Chain A
Amino acid sequence: MIKRKLEELFIKILMILATILVVGSFFLIVGTIFSKGLPYMTWDMITKIPGGGFYIGKEGGVLNAIIGSLYVAGGATVSGLIISIPVAIFINMYLSGKNFITDVLRTVFDVLFGIPSIVYGAFGFLIMVYFGLRASLLGGIIAVTLLVIPLLVRTLDEVIRTVPGELRDAALSLGSTRWETAKVVLRQIRPGIFTAILLSFGRGIGDVASVLFTAGFSDNIPTSLHEPAATLPLAIFFQLGSPVEEVQGRAYASALILTIVVLIITVLSEILIKKFSKHKI
């Protein structure tokens, strides 16, 4: 009896410690970003592009990187969804019953999901070279799209699999075609689609390696797909490398901006998930 109680106690302490570790490091990270970034967080940071001597500590902000990041992550999420939704629907609704093919496809997307982002960056770079493109917003969107597609397909696949087979049967029994049934399923998983968008956007906006060669960097806000675009993670990277204290501080301010952008996207999708969950059975 004593042994069982001790075991219970030991496991419980272990779990509490692990939780403290995780939550603690979260607050440590956020705390660091705030304490180091807040003093340098000026209105200019989010409303101005880098001025003349920005990288030696003079005026300007990182608006170029904020806009660039939103363009890249947003563009990649939208184009990723356009490709991933049909794939997920196809795997689940048109190949159902063909277990071998769906197993192979799911494994392929698992493997793709595990590939490090630098590989997608390199691959995106190859595509660009092939088409004679230069580092540009378009290149960045292509590379990040490749990066988020496996994540989107896997997430959507999991979500579609939670839809009860009886709901599909219900739609089919009413004489729906497979596509009409798929539309019912898509309605049902709308909250899940927003989860997928959130995950994809989060991965896309935070990734450095995929945009390193493909999107390039620019102090200006891109006005077309063919211009290079700055991104927040790269901006942080460059600023951190500076010997000037002012610039290093701005790196933390940029990190703070990135965190807040992700936070806004998270809250926004939570609201949308709630709003579209009213039909959930």
Chain B
Amino acid sequence: MTSTPHISVQNLNVHIANQHILKDISINIPNKKVTSIIGPSGCGKTTLLKSFNRLLDNTPDVKITGKVLVDGEDIYDPNAEITHIRKKMGLLSQRPYPLPMSIYDNVAYGPRIHGNPKKAELDELVETQLKATGLWNEVKDRLKAPASKLSIGQQQRLCLARGLAVEPEIILGDESTSALDPTSTHIIEDLFIELKEKYSIVLVTHILRQARRVSDYIIFVYMGKIIEFGPTEEVLLNPKQELTKEYVKGFIS
């Protein structure tokens, strides 16, 4: 890794209801790259992703030990400001969940809670982010319409625009295309590639083709442990570990 890592995980252990979900995870997520977390269902991919913005905190009976440094700051420090940590990261979930308000208000939500922007500033910001996600031309005439009226693919792009509007540094994607049709999936994947210019992106995916297409690095997780981490081509085409080999070939899923 050449540049300094954006997220640095050190000896992270997560227990949920006495089950050891993540076992002694240490990993450095590179800056302004796309890193994909792959692995079979239930291996702890999503748990790892959600540990980055402390969404894990809301899980019942959860016990987290270890450190997660974002920009060198331990986010599990008791004094850490949780809203500040989350503001740094945009999350794109499996299915789009637009807030129960208009298209405009969805994008404006973040800027509004974090500050008191003027109407003109907001208008400009909403337009910028909707353009960044390629949604502007589709919705510019109905910004006041409920976000729930959009198609699923458009909703997911709206959720991305909503996340970008709070000016995060990192984008977390939790199987963000699994509910989308192939066309929308393609649009989102292209957006990820485009956005890594400005953001560090971490994606959880179970689609190896997608991991190969969009990511620079791959983390392979199995049974709560990191088995292999490296550049995409290396991990997928020339894996060092036996388990990775089997997973990539489709023997374990």
Q: Which of B95, B97, B110 has the most CB of A within 10 A?
A: B97
Fill in one digit per residue for B56-71: 1 if any A CB lies within 8 Å of its CB, else 0.
0111111000000000
Q: Chain B interface residue count: which class?
A: 35 or more
Query: Which residues of A lie under 8 Å from residue B94 when comparing CB positions?
Result: 166
Fill in one digit per residue for A128-168: 1 if any B CB lies within 8 Å of its CB, else 0.
00000000000000000000000000000000000011111
Are A169 and B83 touching (Cβ within 8 A)? Answer: no
A173 within 8 A of B: yes
B98 within 8 A of A: yes
How many residues belonging to A are interface residues under a CB distance threshold of 8 Å? 27
Q: In angstroms, how far is the closest chain B Cβ from the Cβ of A259?
A: 34
Are B166 and A166 touching (Cβ within 8 A)? Answer: no
With contact pairs A166-B93, A173-B86, A176-B83 given, residues A279 and B146 touching in the complex (Cβ less than 8 Å):
yes
Q: In the complex, what distance in Å separates the CA atom of A167 from the CA atom of B58?
A: 13
Are A175 and B114 touching (Cβ within 8 A)? Answer: yes
Are A173 and B163 touching (Cβ within 8 A)? Answer: yes
B84 within 8 A of A: yes
Are B86 and A281 touching (Cβ within 8 A)? Answer: no
Query: Which residues of A lie under 8 Å from residue B252 when comparing CB positions?
Result: none
Are A172 and B55 touching (Cβ within 8 A)? Answer: yes
Are A279 and B97 touching (Cβ within 8 A)? Answer: no
Q: In the complex, what distance in Å separates the CA atom of A23 from the CA atom of B235?
A: 67
Query: Which residues of B lie under 8 Å from residue A173 when comparing CB positions?
Result: 53, 55, 86, 89-91, 163, 172
Q: In the complex, what distance in Å separates the CA atom of A279 from the CA atom of B147?
A: 7
Are B110 and A174 touching (Cβ within 8 A)? Answer: yes
Are B53 and A167 touching (Cβ within 8 A)? Answer: no
Fill in one digit per residue for B135-155: 1 if any A CB lies within 8 Å of its CB, else 0.
000000000001111000000
**Residues in chain B within 8 A of chain A (CB atoms):** 53, 55, 57-62, 83-84, 86-87, 89-91, 93-95, 97-101, 109-110, 113-114, 146-149, 159, 162-163, 166, 172
**Residues in chain A within 8 A of chain B (CB atoms):** 96-99, 164-177, 180, 184, 187-188, 190, 278-281
